[in-house]
Amino acid sequence: GELVPALQVFDAVSQGTVEMGHGSPYYWAGTIPEAQFFSSVPFGMTAKGMNAWLYNGGGLLLWQEMYEPFNLTVFPMGNTGVQMGGWFRKKINSIEDIKGLRMRIPGLGGKVFKKAGGNPVLMAGSEIYTALERGAIDATEWVAPFHDMRLGLDRTAKYYYYPGWHEPGTVFELMINTSKWDLLPKDLQKIVEVAAGAISEWIYAQMEFHNQEALSKLREKQNVEILRYPDDVLIELKILTKKTLDEEATKLMLEKNNPRFKRVYDAYESFRVSYELWGDLSDKAYQESLKLE
């Protein structure tokens, strides 16, 4: 059984109720809004870019600095890779189809969804199937084919959209109560840190392996249609992402006297722009070459 509910892990580790916890930073947006950048950003970096930023671009040091006031030591521990765009009961033909839609979608993606006229809902994974089946929500995102099928989402909605614009490479975290962490000798601390990194690679590899298998099974199902978001919908969501992030940074600065969100936002964006230039010449160019005949 669980020691604490999924959405209370941050507080439980911070307060010492448990010594360690595993989650994803965007779940704690109500307590620490800037944490969302260490999870996933709509139309942002994939797992490769996030790893480069966190481990070599100063991202992890910034993340640890943001968590320090909460008595937390943090390390990356897993990544979903690019996710799918969600399960819907009706087709999304234009941005207008999002208006009024109740969708389980967390983090910054949820804020963008709201900006588009939707009603984002935050709930733990264990609640999603029942909520969608009973009509409490109209749509949901979870992860990708493997985990979505394990949750039974292919039995609750017909239309399965891609790409996962809202979560292109979601980072999981290992949170450790700093008071407990400081009691460990340096060699054991290093073992935990290295183990978290190894588990990150293992989780990401598991995601990629199982998703390609699950996708093959999904394609055989008669009750599921796998659809690409229309280009005009993606373009509008991308525009709304920039507006949402800029407005959120200004709002937190003025209303909450919180400059940290903008500081992390600027650091993330600076690295993303530079990394994207390299990506255009490497991964993107290579993928495009594979389509040539």
Q: Give 187-230 pLDDT, tens digit per residue.
A: 999 999 999 999 999 999 999 999 999 999 999 988 999 999 99
Per the domain annotation, does 141 fall within a domain?
Answer: yes
d(CA 169, CA 87): 18
Task: Describe the chain by its helix, strand, coil percentages, rounded to 5.
Answer: 55, 15, 30
pLDDT for 222 equals: 87
Q: Which two tokens stand for residue 68?
A: 């320090």
pLDDT for 1 equals: 58
Per the domain annotation, does 145 fall within a domain?
Answer: yes
Per the domain annotation, does 40 fall within a domain?
Answer: no
Q: Give 21-52 pLDDT, tens digit per residue.
A: 999 999 999 999 999 999 999 999 999 999 99
d(CA 180, CA 34): 24
Task: Give how many domains the chain has, as a whole number.
Answer: 1
d(CA 10, CA 21): 7
Best CA proximity match to 116, nearest among 265, 239, 251: 239
pLDDT tier for residue 60 given thresholds of 50, 70 and 90 = very high
Place of tokens 């919908």: 233
Per the domain annotation, does 118 fall within a domain?
Answer: yes
Per the domain annotation, does 190 fall within a domain?
Answer: no
Q: Which two tokens stand for residue 170?
A: 């979601």
Per the domain annotation, does 8 fall within a domain?
Answer: no
d(CA 180, CA 192): 13
Q: What is the Cα Rg of the chain in Å? A: 19
Q: At 151, which CATH number?
A: 3.40.190.10
Cβ–Cβ < 8 Å for 78, 200: yes
Q: Which domain holds residue 140?
A: 86-164+223-229
pLDDT tier for residue 2 given thresholds of 50, 70 and 90 = confident
Indicate whether 166 pLDDT > 80. Answer: yes
CA pseudo-torsion sign 149, 38, 270, 194: negative
Per the domain annotation, does 116 fall within a domain?
Answer: yes
Q: Which two tokens stand for residue 112?
A: 């963008």
Per the domain annotation, does 115 fall within a domain?
Answer: yes
In DSSP terms, 226 is beta-bridged to 160
72-79 and 171-177 strand pairing: antiparallel
Q: Which two tokens stand for residue 226?
A: 């796998």
Count the alpha carbons within 13 Å of 39 in the hemisphere toward its beta carbon. 21
- The mean pLDDT value for 114-137 works out to 96
What's at 105, amino acid-wise?
I
Cβ–Cβ < 8 Å for 230, 162: no
